[in-house]
Structure 1
């Protein structure tokens, strides 16, 4: 009995049938079956390398020679070609379920010398036969010395050819990266399919989301707004916080060329955001101490912003519907305080608009950017991070004790927090700029996205919902306390 082995190195969508199977596999399998019949071999099973099951349950194929990171017996990690189909055939041969393998060509079966040596071990131990349509793969009763030697020579040559091709492809990609050219694949968000020509509408999304992230708007809130505007990603899928994060972290947003994860120069297209803004976004999104909260994005101005006046300890409120037709703000800790959402929001937004309409609002809230040497701050921050890495090495070498390492680490991290805040302050634009000086501040405030309205309120005041002093129906303005910052 023989296992028939078919492999396709790179299958594209146009090569698939309606069932998701490679169109050419049927005829290729038939040729192998005909050869098996001529050899007098029965067919145990047909193994098609690359078979994976997609989300809809239909099969499609991918490259058989994709390398994956694996852990070696000595505990180290390395990139290795992982081909489960070929490995399953070795299992068949080793357990006696099959006694032979029939493939199209040696090159289509084994190109990695490790695979060949594993096959030789099994073939010699179990007297395995092997043949190919091209004649390049021939093993007789475990393989003669000549057959084994020829296979080793041919696999070595094929492996060298693969490495030469890989080296040329890598060199070509590096040249493209240095020149700022697009390396191919799915078009990046913000660009036309050539990967260089900007799309103004998508550039505006990148710029707007980068700016608002630095102001304090959450990724979840911005993704919710993008979904509400029916804006789509390059794949046509709705926006999520994770997808938006990936887009905002791309160096190409600042027109930076990247090769193997490192910035190597400037790209030839205009930047969607200045480099300082991108660096600030990068620092914020990669900060391990960054606060993130699970769940849906807030849908009301006061959720997590307004405070509970009964607790009076910084506890905020959220929104509940309960048995009432209208949403109500309620203390997060207890049901001891609740207030109708719409009258409170109308009162707070009206008060904020009135305050921002006063002449002194410019000086109080919209302070101009200070003259900060961002490059010098970045240089100092990089030096501190390098020194923190050196502390671990010094501790391992016994040059410092544990207490010294902890004290120096805390001091370094504290200084880094200060530097990061200073660099952010240099590029963050106040969310109030669009309101101060507007002809109708209330209308301008109402036209802003919900996430920005929440940010404006949190920037200019502290809102506390206190127990009502007036009995009866209707909204009591005295039940909302506004303290201006």
Structure 2
């Protein structure tokens, strides 16, 4: 085996319950010891903590490792065991191709050297990969059976983020949040829209379950539709048993809410917006475009082998919650100061764009000062309103000029118009107009695989690449 000039160590653990990275640290220690024994020089260590190699989610450090091996920055690799590197045949074949091309050495602590430049070495690696894949699949089957049994016994789901309205163990009500849930349920059943309720939550600066202050329509819909808040256990969207925790609203209210949300006429009105993101979505497994395609009558986006060359065909996502999530992010961004700040970072010192960005930030500071003066009684309400209107008009005009100078002329049409666009979204904007708004600021959205056993919409699956 040729001695590497600058080798890499890679370590990974699928589950890190304590968050202390102890499993990864043990792997690293063993790999360092092996490097000393072989007299290898280690150029860098790459670690993916609490990341599975089986579920298909992107492993950032693993992808960086491949780039460094491909570029020649690293010319050797030490891993604890072959299954730390791959549990997917697709990833394994990609790695074998890279190894054949670059001819770097691979050593493991537990399974010896892997010579992937020979047919026998590649066969051994594929056998290891098949065994690891089988172990992962059997583990997944056991977990699904266990999760189903827990649901049928009415035990709360405690994996994933904390459920709004309850403490982390899922058994105790957080009364301040429960009061919000009751208000949402009552107002929705009285006829208020999800969009109106979302605006109320944001305007009232009511914290989310994670402590943030930004709510999305998809999250509000998901909260209202949840059977948990009425003391019922669901599994993959189906209510399977009464829960063992206290209720916030009644089961009857949940039934009425679901009946309203699932009403055919409600879905019919929203059909045109289901494919809002066509052409923008990429598969997080294979980086191929996602195709808009209904599944069992539900609009969604799929990675389809029969459409795209090289597509994995193993990823899909329901359209409506994703569309609404991306839409809410875009409309919020259009009204926020971050766009001007981003354009300021892109502008060159001494240019017209630099000057305009400075004026925008100065006017925004003046708005803050006006509010403080009015609160202190130093100016009248009429003075406050007049000065605010003048400053906001200047900010809007300068944002439009800045967007044009910075090569984002299409974006200029929508800057500062987020709230107005939200009100007109379904009432008067065509599908093409909605797409134009989204594309003015979003370049692409990568959709990552769903967590095994989770059926509800997870915003973390969507990775947005912004134009600005």
Task: Tell me the TM-score normalised to structure 2 length.
Answer: 0.48
Q: Which structure has more RCO (C-alpha within 8 Å, separation ≥ 6)?
A: 2
Greater helix percent: which structure? Answer: 2
Bigger Cα Rg: 1
Task: Tell me the TM-score normalised to structure 1 length.
Answer: 0.46
